[in-house]
Copies of this chain bind each other. A is one copy, B any other.
Amino acid sequence: MILKTNFTPGPSQLFMTTEDHARKAFRELIPSLSHRSKQFEDISRNATEGLRTLLNIPSNFSIVFTGSATEIWERIIQNLTEHTSHHLVNGAFSQKFYDTALQLNRKPTVSIIKLGKGFDDSVETPLTELIAITHNETSTGVSLPLTVITRIRNNNPSALLAVDAVSSLPYLDFDFTQVDSVFFSVQKGFGLPAGLGVWIVNERCLARAEQILSTGISIGSYHTLPSLIDNARKNQTPETPNVLGIYLLAKVVEDMNRRGIQIIRRETEYKAAILYQALDSHSLLRPFVEEPAHRSKTVLVADCGAHTEALTNHLIKKGMLPGDGYGAQKKTQLRFANFPAHSKEQYELLVDSILEFKG
């Protein structure tokens, strides 16, 4: 059975135009295109300049491509830290970012809080080389208020600040003056096939990578930050990249720019509001995240307890696939992605179906 709407947080539902663009890509022989051709450089430039417009990325930031956001965790630790990093951990993905630093033999420190809780202005960070923040914990649906990022920044002006925005972009409206590095993968908010990570980094990050390299420490090989940025300046990549993925990103970002990021953001907020309202008012369900300021607008998590399986079946019967709860919460929670690919109509049908669910 093929379900009409996929609310799994990632890989998630494709953006409305992705399939058409893919068909066109094959017709135009994009997958056979040399990655050293002028035509590829144009595609790559369209992707990065389109993102610059969509997310309002300043010119002191470079935009480079990797195989996944998971790779970017590794590249950040490798290129931007020599000894230490500090991690805000409140779920499985922020934990994995911390684990990456351990695996690379750094001595990371951590602020850790309970699943379902978010960090607020009380969070303390030590003197460190890099502060790693997960803006939206995809496993729990907890989001970090942007004011907390600003406060951390002000308290730690010497540390680089890296933000995992894997499941919050393009909704999230970042103030790039408050961060040094932001990254995401394309199979979530951008509604694209998986296999491409996007890393947005400023000149402080490049300088730090070059400085570490100059001490004789290895910062990797083909995907060091200097190598990635040198290539990106020519709209190139060090290796043969996921050319089709970069093409599809360019096209979908163009469509999003045409639609307008303000409309996308407004619709995201509307869809999140009606689903949280339904969960708040439901007698059998409730939002997992209690504190409204920490409730993610892009990955909404419902505590469904003993009703999880019944609700899943109820939604599947109506052509909708909810995301399972993450890890230990698989049997008691459902996750709902709220990405630009999910239309208002699909969310209204989801909300109506949840409201009529009586267990």
Contact = CB atoms under 8 A, between A and B. Distances in A.
14 contacts: A3-B29, A11-B240, A18-B31, A67-B67, A68-B241, A73-B221, A74-B221, A77-B221, A100-B221, A104-B221, A105-B217, A193-B243, A194-B241, A194-B242
Contacts of A59: none
A103 interface: yes
A77 B14 CA distance: 37
Interface string A1-45: 011001010111110001100110010110111110000000000
Minimum-distance CB pairs A-B, first 9: A67-B67, A195-B242, A70-B239, A31-B193, A103-B221, A105-B218, A100-B221, A193-B244, A68-B239
Contacts of A359: none
A245 interface: yes
Nearest to A23: B23
Interface string A226-255: 000000000000111111110000000000
B194 A31 contact: yes
A243 B195 contact: yes
A70 B100 contact: no
B196 A239 contact: no
Contact of A14 (B32, B35, B103): B32
Contact of A218 (B103, B239, B240): B103
Given A195-B195, A222-B74, A29 B10 contact: no
Which residue of A103, A185, A224 has the most chain B CB atoms within 10 A of its CB atom?
A103
A192 interface: yes
A58 interface: no
A71 interface: yes
Contact of A34 (B11, B33, B69): B11
Contacts of A99: 221
Nearest to A2: B29
A274 B305 CA distance: 69
B2 A31 contact: no
B243 A194 contact: yes
A126 interface: no
A320 B22 CA distance: 24
Interface in A181-230: 185, 187, 192-196, 216-218, 220-224
Interface in A51-88: 66-71, 73-74, 77
A92 to B, nearest CB: 12
Nearest to A12: B32
Given A67-B68, A103-B220, A242-B245, 12 more contacts: A2-B28, A14-B29, A18-B31, A31-B192, A31-B194, A35-B194, A66-B67, A70-B222, A103-B221, A194-B242, A194-B244, A242-B242
A29 B4 CA distance: 10
Interface in A141-158: none
Contact of A6 (B29, B103, B193): B29
B19 A32 contact: no
Nearest to A326: B36
A197 B40 CA distance: 20
Given A35-B194, A243-B193, A103 B29 contact: no
